[in-house]
A and B are shown apart, each in its own frame.
Chain A
Amino acid sequence: MAQTSGATNQSTLLPLELVDKCIGSRIHIIMKNDKEMVGTLLGFDDFVNMLLEDVTEYEREEGGGRRVTKLDQILLNGNNITMLVPGGDIPENSV
């Protein structure tokens, strides 16, 4: 009866399974140091390094503005990732 691990329990979803479900769809990545990325997730590894396509990078600039960079395909270092949000909404006021 007792549920010993989340992996055997079909009703719970492991955190990385949620990320796995996002493969092929748009994802919004919030990073340390006021950066955000929106792109299509192609894959990721155990460190949550991510392979992304058609990426838009949003950076906060000193003057209060924000810099937007478009990138074709990137291998993103997982080190600075803080949060992943399924769906590719453009961050309106966050950065």
Chain B
Amino acid sequence: MSRKEALSQFINQIHGRPVVVKLNSGVDYRGVLACLDGYMNIALDQTEEYANGQLKNKYGDAFIRGNNVLYISTQKRRV
């Protein structure tokens, strides 16, 4: 039931990969995913902050509190 494995597999494989994190506010954070937990708290490396598609800021390391996260998106990896 409910294929939770698919989610845990996804979570396990996206460490170290470039991701886009969108917040409920509409702001995007692009960076390399350093860490992710069950609350969807996220640590990002080489973070770029985009608001309305425009680069607003850059951070070396960033922590995003999970309650703000709308989605975490990755590019497909061809294997």
Taking Cβ atoms with an 8 Å cutoff, the residues of A that contact B are 16-17, 19-20, 23, 33, 35, 42-46, 49, 51, 53, 55, 59, 71-77, 79-80
Tier of interface size on chain B = 20 to 34
* A43 pairs with B6, CB closer than 8 A: yes
Residues of the A chain whose Cβ atoms lie less than 8 Å from the Cβ of B10: 42-43, 51, 73, 75
Contacts of B69 in A (CB 8 A): 77
By the criterion CB–CB under 8 Å, are B4 and A45 in contact?
A: yes
Tell whether B79 is near chain A: CB-to-CB under 8 Å.
Answer: no
B residues at A contact (CB < 8 Å): 1-7, 10-11, 20, 24, 26, 40, 66-67, 69-76
**Nearest residue, chain B, Cβ from A37:** B71
Q: Which of B1, B5, B70 contacts A77 (CB 8 A)?
A: B70
Which one of A20, A51, A53 lies within 8 Å of B7 (CB-CB)?
Answer: A51
Q: Is the CB of B74 within 8 A of A46?
A: no
Partner of A43, one of B2, B26, B73: B2
Taking CB as reference atom, which chain A residue is nearest B20? A71
